[in-house]
Amino acid sequence: MSRPIELYYWPTPNGWKISVALEEMGLPYTMIPVNIGAGEQFKPDFLAISPNNRMPAIVDPDGPDGQPISVFESGAILQYLGRKTGKFYGANERERVDIDQWLMWQMGGLGPMAGQTHHFRQYAAAIVSDQRQIAYGAIRYTNETHRLYGVLNKQLNGKDFICGQLSIADFACWGWVVPWKNQGIILEEFPHLQAWFERMAAREAVERGFKLGAELRRQGLQAPGKAQEEARKVLFGQRAR
């Protein structure tokens, strides 16, 4: 029997990618919280696994040739898990290329743009005094996120899943659509995407992956004002360490 994969995690869109994948693939795992608001991503032990001081990351004790392996970057983790299990990563090279291009689309487009949208719409007012900068950033990134939703909506026309069959591309994208309201998106404008989003949310494995560590997120949201201010300094005032 496989030994549990160690999942270094915090409940965010990037974290959900891997918790959902692990649940869908039926892989045993243990969750190790990495409180990004408290700066735990800068601890030396974690940096040895994830040198970019970002979660998620995994350690698989049963890696290639039976030797342990650590993997950082959520897209690389999804590809690794897909190869390891032979699940949700296509049955041939043509299918894998299709999955990879939508995975890269999420990694280079939907995730970063939606992340910047969250920043300018939700957090910037507490950090930046120039309201013109905030307004420009919010408009710029909201518009680009809206465009990307349109791209995905078009791709999902006539499809249950992004590449036809459920794949790691779906796991990668779904979590970034979860906070659509905070992105200034009206989901009803994208009916194919909305149907896919709801179809994914109805899956039991997706629900389990999404709920992983939910209490950690609630604790962070309920923290006193000063604690939240310190968390913002950690998240948005970072320097190389």
DSSP string, 108-134: IIIHHHHHHHHIIIIIGGGT---HHHH
For the chain, list the domains and their CATH numbers. Answer: 5-87+212-236 (3.40.30.10), 93-202 (1.20.1050.10)
Q: Tens of pLDDT along the chain (241 residues)?
A: 679 999 999 999 999 999 999 999 999 999 999 999 889 999 999 999 999 999 999 999 999 999 999 999 999 999 999 999 999 999 999 999 999 999 999 999 999 999 999 888 988 877 777 788 888 889 999 999 999 999 999 999 999 999 999 999 999 999 999 999 999 999 999 999 999 999 999 999 999 999 999 998 776 545 455 444 554 455 555 544 4
Q: What is the number of residues in the chain?
A: 241
Quote the Cα angle for 17-22-27, to 5°: 170
- Which of 93, 31, 39, 81 shows the shortest CA–CA distance to 56? 31
Q: Is 105 helix (H, G, I), strand (E, B) or coil?
A: helix
Per the CB < 8 A criterion, the answer to whether 153 and 197 are in contact is: no
Contacts of 150 (CB under 8 A, 6+ apart): 190
